[in-house]
Structure 1
């Protein structure tokens, strides 16, 4: 048990980036913060980190900068049943149990008390979702010579079905799917399976980019909706993203994956006349990468030109230039999986076993 506690603990002086990386390694979303003496300080969740980054954009900040004032912990006076009910209500991965002085007595892990998979009664949000599934998937040849990219399997299901099932769990009942390449195979597949949602197809006569085809349904969607690529999976509660989008009155919100790259060389920054300005030894570079899932307000459909190639990034830039609100919601690198090419596809198969299966 002590080894498990060590794995989920992070030093209070660690950065948010280090916390995110540790969560990805653990396939978890919660860590226990300790001080230099390994004494309990608090707990930090991926939600805490996301809220801090949205406000401050400083991924190198200490984990203590992102801590909440009040966190849910148990007391040694709580009965096992009370602790179990708290963990079940808030779906917490583990629960620190503190003594009367606030020191850590023990940690109770979800897997130790819930042997079977639990179901939760959540408020359903019936938000329309548009799936962009018209591409040829050329980087996944030769398999896409036979089946379209949306039907490429991850685990035992096509990736597009996994995406749609994830939104269905949130409450989505209506999907709109942009199709073109091997459209008949996609429709035949969904016609044959049992599903708790409806799929409405609209076909591009020619490639229209990541947003051009949305002009074909501008009179069909009249409420806030999601747009998702057909080749990515994101381990994120979409309800949280939706509520943040609405609270902040964004016109578009893009989900972004935090990607960190280690440069194995010393780098040089050069100024005028070729003079050295700065040196960094094997730096780490962090970027917020467009993850391919968006929330869009319906009035923007009328800003998309008819029957023209148009990327959704063009729409984001258009909104931004006129002073509209374009939000970015961060998720960890390990929460973002794609099958855009064979290297990423193989990675996704392994990650899927841990996070979605």
Structure 2
């Protein structure tokens, strides 16, 4: 089953970083957030990726093309004109298959999805954004999707408020709560779609996934929500970037498996 990742936005709320690189290449703990996201999928057996490229997409291509050069011992033989890597490949990425799709510099999210339709094989695909981390159980979400039989599943999450709140009665403060979870559900960005969802999106530059396509899918009664009550965090701003990296340095990495979390903490 392909995993489509939207990697083409400009990341305008993170200009401190994205003037130089696309947001999916911004590091969390020394590794691009895109790799963290792909590992969430690959650890659960989903290793066929389609990356929807746009803004500075060439840098995403180069980061994968140069991966072995940066991470492995190598012999460069100028006499023979050969580049040879030493030892066997032990990377977790060795089984990955990645399609790099140029979906337009300024194309909106729905247009990007429409443009990768030729690369979606089979009757179903997963979709996510290039800036969200979670400890989501993808197989549980897939079981939910298969059971309800509709076209789409969106993950619903309840993020913490960025502010503390007060419980007030008249002019009396009854209690304080520091950054409680919002009572409202928001789009957590981990989708599962039947292939026929591609009929809802158009390859036009201004087609926004979260507007007409998902609104129409919802109106047709073809969109269900899988509620995720575990960890979820979106790197939307520079403040989010700092907090994610501070958490990583302190070993607060709920999207990683337990062994990796212990390694970070140590």
Q: Which of the numbers 135, 139, 148 marks the counterpart of 2:22?
A: 148
Q: Contact between 2:153 and 2:192, CA under 8 Å: does it hold in 1?
A: yes
Change in Cα spacing, 1:162 to 1:260, as seen in structure 2 (3 Å) is: closer
- Structure 1 runs of 4+ aligned residues shifted over 6 Å read 280-284
Q: Which of the numbers 128, 132, 145 marks the counterpart of 1:228?
A: 128
Q: Which residue of the partner structure matches residue 51 of structure 2?
A: 177
Residues 130-185 of structure 1: CA distance to partner in whole angstroms, max 9, x if unpaired? 01000111222222122211111111211001111121111123111111111111
Q: Contact between 1:338 and 1:345, CA under 8 Å: does it hold in 2?
A: no
- Equivalent pairs, count: 219
Counterparts of 1:265-344 in structure 2, within 5 Å, are 266=168, 286-314=183-211, 315-324=213-222, 326-332=223-229, 335-344=231-240
Q: Contact between 2:5 and 2:51, CA under 8 Å: does it hold in 1?
A: yes
Residues 209-238 of structure 1: CA distance to partner in whole angstroms, max 9, x if unpaired? 222211112232132111111011011121
Deviation at 1:251, TM superposition (A): 1.3
Q: Which residue of the partner structure matches residue 253 of structure 1?
A: 153
Deviation at 1:293, TM superposition (A): 1.7
- Report SS of the residue matched to 2:188: strand
Q: Which of the numbers 264, 275, 282 marks the counterpart of 2:166?
A: 264
Q: Distance in 1 between matches of 2:132 and 2:104?
A: 24
- What's the TM-score, normalizing by structure 2? 0.74
Q: Contact between 2:103 and 2:116, CA under 8 Å: does it hold in 1?
A: no
Counterparts of 1:196-211 in structure 2, within 5 Å, are 196-211=95-110
Q: Contact between 1:338 and 1:348, CA under 8 Å: does it hold in 2?
A: no
Residues 275-299 of structure 1: CA distance to partner in whole angstroms, max 9, x if unpaired? xxxxx96797511111122111111
Is residue 2:115 matched to residue 1:216?
yes
**Structure (1 or 2) with the larger CA radius of gyration:** 1
Q: Distance in 1 between matches of 2:54 and 2:47?
A: 23
- Please tell me the root mean square deviation across aligned C-alpha atoms, in Å: 2.4
Higher relative contact order (CA 8 A, sep 6+): 2
- What's the TM-score, normalizing by structure 1? 0.56
Counterparts of 1:130-169 in structure 2, within 5 Å, are 130-169=4-43
Contiguous gaps of at least 5 residues in structure 2: 68-90, 262-266
- Report SS of the residue matched to 1:320: helix
Contiguous gaps of at least 5 residues in structure 1: 1-126, 269-279
